[in-house]
């Protein structure tokens, strides 16, 4: 499995373009972050970052010729943060207030939605048997200036054939 396949599936899940009812994120809740499109803050702007794979203990199993690896996955969601009562450009009362308490509340709901969507095993069909599971590692929150950021960190547990094995293509 390539990193591009994993990134594409996570982005599809975030955009609501892929998912099982009950575990899918509503369409339009997030939009993808593009540096050349947005400047400054934007509500629920999301991006996916993937790290390099590393051997997971115990590494390669010489009996079945598979290597188990872990890949760091980060989902970053940005929110518009304004002073109490202010509405930044592009933020309406329908989206919610921009004060810190309101933004924190939206981030908590979003974290639950993202966790539910990414941890639901059926969302990874088609990528298995190469993607075994995704599990949460940590989360962090930062409000700095006009941007408040939610960072969710996961690990993707992947399986690959060991080069030279009889199972390799």
pLDDT of residue 85: 52
Segment 61-70 mean pLDDT: 70
**Residue, of 98 and 114, whose pLDDT is higher:** 114
pLDDT of residue 138: 96
pLDDT over 90 (residue 163): no
* Residue 85, Ramachandran bin (φ over 0: left; ψ between -120 and 50: alpha; else beta): left
pLDDT of residue 94: 45
Q: What is the pLDDT of residues 139-152, one digit of tens each?
A: 999 987 778 899 99
Instruction: Report d(CA 110, CA 114) in Å as an integer.
Output: 6
Contacts of 66 (CB under 8 A, 6+ apart): 60, 159, 160, 161, 162, 167
Instruction: Report d(CA 128, CA 99) in Å as an integer.
Output: 42
pLDDT over 80 (residue 60): no
Segment 111-115 mean pLDDT: 95
Q: What is the pLDDT of residues 21-52, one digit of tens each?
A: 888 999 888 888 766 555 555 678 899 999 99
pLDDT over 70 (residue 167): no
pLDDT of residue 164: 55
Q: Where are the domains of the chain?
A: 3-161
Q: How confident is the model at residue 126 (pLDDT cuts 50, 70, 90)?
A: confident
pLDDT over 90 (residue 131): no
Given 3.30.70.1700, 3.40.50.150, 1.10.260.40, 1.20.1250.40, which CATH number is that of 3-161? 3.30.70.1700
Instruction: Report d(CA 81, CA 103) in Å as an integer.
Output: 7
């Amino acid at each position: 499995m390539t990193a591009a396949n994993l990134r594409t599936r996570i982005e599809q899940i975030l955009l609501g373009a892929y998912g099982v009812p009950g575990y899918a994120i509503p369409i339009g809740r997030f939009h993808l972050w593009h540096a050349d499109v947005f400047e400054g803050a934007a509500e629920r702007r999301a991006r996916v970052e993937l790290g390099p794979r590393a051997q997971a203990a115990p590494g390669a199993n010489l009996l079945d010729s598979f290597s188990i690896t872990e890949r760091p996955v980060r989902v970053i969601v940005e929110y518009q943060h304004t002073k109490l009562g202010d509405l930044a450009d592009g933020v309406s009362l329908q989206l919610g207030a921009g004060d810190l308490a309101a933004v924190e509340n939206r981030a908590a709901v979003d974290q639950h939605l993202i966790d539910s969507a990414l941890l639901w095993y059926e969302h990874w069909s088609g990528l298995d048997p190469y993607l075994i599971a995704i599990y949460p590692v940590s989360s962090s929150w930062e409000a700095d200036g006009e941007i408040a950021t939610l960072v969710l960190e996961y690990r993707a547990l992947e399986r690959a054939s060991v080069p030279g094995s009889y199972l390799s293509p």
